[in-house]
Structure 1
Amino acid sequence: MASNIALELCKCMYTTWTSVAVIAVSLLYIWWRRPPNFPPGPRGLPLLGVLPYLGRFPAEVFKKWSLEKYGPVMSIRMGRSDVVVVNTGDSFREAFVEQGAYTSGRPPDTMIGQVTGDMGLVFKDYSANFKATKKWILRTLSQYGLGKKGMEEKIQEEADCLADYLRTKVGKPVNFKLSLYCLTSNVVSLIMSGRRYDYEDEEHKKRLKLIHLIFGDPNDAPKLLLVDLFPTLKYLPIFKTANDKLRSRMKTVLGFTRSNIEEHKKTFEKDDIRDFIDTFLAEMKFGNETSRDNFTEDELNALFRDFFLAGSETTSTNILWILLLLVHYPEHTTKVIEEIDAIIGPNASPSSTTHSSQMPFTCAFIQESMRYRTSVPLSAQHYCQKTFQLNGYTIPKGTLIYPNIWGVHNDPKSWPNPSKFDPYRHIDEKGNYRNSSNVIPFLIGPRTCVGEALARQEIFIFLVKILQKFEVKPAPGETPSITDGVNSLVFSPHSFNLILQER
């Protein structure tokens, strides 16, 4: 009898282990398989996908995989989701311009959007409401001179304020990050709320430091980057702490923007529209029925947040990288200064609309800087709203798409020896500046940054103003890196100091 019991026990164990094995193999098959005609790519590990292999610079890893094995349009496994990564200029134009009506959605759990949901513009889903909001914003910003002479005058005035402030710092180590934050945030603030802040305003400096921590906290940045790519991670303790700090900081910024809106409500006059907030409030009060439904205070607050964060952070980061590159390549700095002296002189206000066409090397230097040091390596995630064809593959509805801007900017087919900094890439044989469709720091298609024209004006005017008035040198004993930095949603330089001398 004992042998019969042992035999039955063995049969039971065999059946159990067979069932476990069948289930395991079935789950592995389900995890491993791709949708039909889906782009190729690495699968990584069960449950985690490729997450353990991404390191500090996922955009660079994606491009390496793309070049070595999988092609310009590839897929990766992130947890249980199949994600498409687009890596070249041609595939960008096909995905986000030709097929932009299908690829411009936003997933519901974006990291920045988790505080305000489907409000604002940057993280709003692609819909009739998004298109109407963007159209209204562009029309309104145009009224305030966006990309035109009127806006340029405001930027020039702020550039003069920066120059006056920097004169008080001549000969002393200057940490440009906070100064540039104040500079760029003042331009946004003038448009949105009609006010600017002094460079020594302690309360405003605290706000700007908070924005810096949202995008560039050295301790949290690697964790937040992974949370952005793999949102489920925010529930794990080590990532949850970083994500909770992000949410708290974001709410503080929203409190600041809300206070501006409340002040405007108290002083609003229908016949005295002063700025963007007033224009929005007027639409809320006196617009048609659709406007009253879509134009809410919460929507305005999220829009102000979007402009304040993006307008302060990304533009100042681009200028910081440009200043670092000027320090590392003094021969190029000399050539930029020669153009400034020849075209503008020591006292005239720099104008992007008047002077940039006469300064090919300066424009080439700026464009190469934005290619070489991409401030947003992976743009905000796109969400496929309809099944479509891309590069011969079938991309199902609901698929996440990562726009790898870093990959476009470092594609050897477009840029031979892409790791070399070379402004002459953007100068033609006649010495003219050559604008490139493969330098796309502001993205392309329906999700193109609405502040692109403003950012380009600011970068040109602020850079020229600094070099027009000052010599820029590294602080003694400091060799700031142009290859390393803090990489999260934005790739920014490590903190550094520069020394200024009046010219």
Structure 2
Amino acid sequence: MKFSGLARSTPLHCCDGGLQGRSPSQRGAQRVSLGFVMFVALLIVTLSVLAAAVYSVFKKDNHPPGPRGLPLIGQALSIDWGHQDRSFTEWSRRYGPILKVTAGWETMIVLSDPDLIREAFNGPMAVARQSSPGFELIYADKGMVFTSGEIWHQTRRFTLFHLRNFGMGRSRSVEIIHDQIKEFMEEVLEPNKGQPRSVDHSLNIAILNILWALVAGEIVSIKDAKLLKIIEKQEEFFKEARLFFLMANVPGLMLLPEWITGINKIRAIFHYPIDQLLLPALESHRRTVDLTGEPRDYIDCLLQEQSRQPELFTDRHLLRCILDLFTAGFDTTASTLRWAFCFLCGHQEVQQRLHDEILRVIGRERPPELADKASMPYTEAFLMETQRLSNIAGIGVAHVSTAEFQLGGYTVPRGAQVISNLTAVHLDGRLFPEPQRFRPERFLDERGQLRPSRALMPFSVGKRSCLGETLARTELFLFVTSVVQRYRLRFPDGFQHDFAINESKPFVKEPSPYQLIPERRW
């Protein structure tokens, strides 16, 4: 790896060894020479810092306003790298809906206005992704989420085409969703009727199984021990990644021994799901795939395309494509459902109104279908309000500008990260009055019909919006309606949730731990 040389770099104290065997005058001269070199180096660094500070004060670049920070470091030490939206939201209150933040050598343009976000992300200048040597450690130079240019364009188009062919968000996936909902209710809720129960990783497996069936043609038990271990490793990886982002953005920190130790730990955690699940699935398909026949699943499609474009669809690229879908599938939707169940428990009047709509449109006997969605505006409004207030991905994934462009009266420099601060948008009282209140009615008109808001963008917008949006919306609708149709959910007696986030989990927000009691409705 590129970082391996750092671990072998010679410490400064070994220079003394070169003085042994020399005369006192020679040793004195060398010490003077070494001291002079260090003085010159310090002088150059000092002058560089002063020059950068003076340049930043007097240059006329028309960049957005923002906090200055320390020379060379910027705001890297002030940002909460696990929950960056907190820092950005605080600064947006002071500097406005478009601001500039520097962190080490990275320039970030943070947008907290829905119109600015749509203008930037729908345009051609902010479609790239951040690139860093450290990203190669997690194969982020390949796949769909972190790549840019032709490799991203081809892979996203290829993936969308084939997943739609396999029924993502349509009939085939709906059948799989129903099977997973049934298993979740039978294995998790039903055995705990009337008893407090936490929503454990079984929910993650149920969600992951839906996508894994389309990707690899496999479904595992909701209690599968190997998959539970993989999910735990993924969560451990995200916790360690906070330090990774900090050290990658602060000049000099990559020279510390802690960087090497941290990188090795991150690499080991990252490779666990690849070695235990993804690589075996890929190799199994490679032995049985018909390269000219009808593909069975997404991995077959990848292998067929690899036979046609081996220089682009390398094994590394294939693994990262599968991992991108795996990561997106197991966490975001499951966390949204945890919030939905939490809000239902905490707002019984909302749950009752949702249940009334289910009885009116679906009844008690048949399971909910996707076609019911158009006749259930309150359920849709409930899901919208859940996504607004939970803010699963507070800033999404940063875009990068490929050229200088104008936005909101300011200049966005080439190579800057362009960040959508969705938390600030979704909690803006001018867009959503009483933003901290859970109120699905805000998405309904006076006739009770659905009234979506352009300011609500939980799947982002533009050319790099979430490619699994259709599937995720289908999962959320069917899971919530199926569970509420059969069960009343409530908190244990005497417990109240404050709807705070789980502080130990970075990047993807989930509610702080709670237990719920499922009660059969009939």
* TM-superposition CA deviations, 1:471-491 (whole Å, max 9, x none): 212245654441232352212
Q: Secondary structure of the residue that 1:501 maps to in structure 2?
A: strand
Q: CA deviation at 1:108?
A: 1.2
Q: Tell me: CA distance 1:394–1:162, structure 2 relative to 1, closer, same or farther (3 Å).
A: same
Q: CA deviation at 1:497?
A: 2.3
* TM-superposition CA deviations, 1:259-284 (whole Å, max 9, x none): 10111112223435211111221222
Q: Tell me: CA distance 1:175–1:430, structure 2 relative to 1, closer, same or farther (3 Å).
A: same
Q: Tell me: CA distance 1:134–1:160, structure 2 relative to 1, closer, same or farther (3 Å).
A: same
Distance in 2 separating the partners of 1:240 and 1:363: 48
Distance in 2 separating the partners of 1:239 and 1:421: 42
- Residue in 2 aligned with 1:299? 317
Please list, as runs of the form range in 1=range in 2, the aligned pairs for 1:216-235 lying within 5 A after superposition: 217=239, 220=240, 223=243, 226=246
- Residue in 2 aligned with 1:381? 398
* TM-superposition CA deviations, 1:230-256 (whole Å, max 9, x none): 697566566765554433222111222
Distance in 2 separating the partners of 1:169 and 1:234: 49
Which structure 2 residue ranges, 5 or more long, are not aligned?
A: 1-39
Q: Choose 33-42 or 47-56, whichever is displaced more.
A: 47-56
- Residue in 2 aligned with 1:174? 197
Q: Tell me: CA distance 1:248–1:31, structure 2 relative to 1, closer, same or farther (3 Å).
A: farther
Counterpart contact for 1:225–1:489, Cα < 8 Å: no
- Residue in 1 aligned with 2:296? 274
- The total of aligned residue pairs comes to 476
Q: Secondary structure of the residue that 1:361 maps to in structure 2?
A: helix
Q: Secondary structure of the residue that 1:85 maps to in structure 2?
A: strand
**AA partner of residue 335 (structure 2):** T
- Residue in 2 aligned with 1:472? 489
Please list, as runs of the form range in 1=range in 2, the aligned pairs for 1:22-421 lying within 5 A after superposition: 25-30=50-55, 36-55=61-80, 57-68=83-94, 70-97=95-122, 99=123, 101-109=124-132, 114-125=137-148, 127-166=149-188, 167-215=190-238, 217=239, 220=240, 223=243, 226=246, 244-255=264-275, 256-269=277-290, 270-285=292-307, 287=308, 291-352=309-370, 354-421=371-438
Q: CA deviation at 1:190?
A: 0.3
**AA partner of residue 38 (structure 1):** H
Q: Tell me: CA distance 1:443–1:293, structure 2 relative to 1, closer, same or farther (3 Å).
A: same
Q: Choose 77-86 or 241-250, whichever is displaced more.
A: 241-250
Distance in 1 separating the partners of 2:495 and 2:258: 33
Q: What TM-score do you get using the length of structure 1 for normalisation?
A: 0.87
Counterpart contact for 2:385–2:438, Cα < 8 Å: yes
Residue 491, structure 1, aligned to residue 505, structure 2: no
Q: CA deviation at 1:227?
A: 5.4
Q: Tell me: CA distance 1:186–1:399, structure 2 relative to 1, closer, same or farther (3 Å).
A: same
Distance in 1 separating the partners of 2:385 and 2:251: 33
Q: CA deviation at 1:468?
A: 1.6
Residue 425, structure 1, aligned to residue 442, structure 2: yes
Distance in 2 separating the partners of 1:428 and 1:213: 43
Q: CA deviation at 1:221?
A: 7.0
Distance in 1 separating the partners of 2:133 and 2:488: 42
Q: CA deviation at 1:296?
A: 2.4
Q: Secondary structure of the residue that 1:180 maps to in structure 2?
A: helix
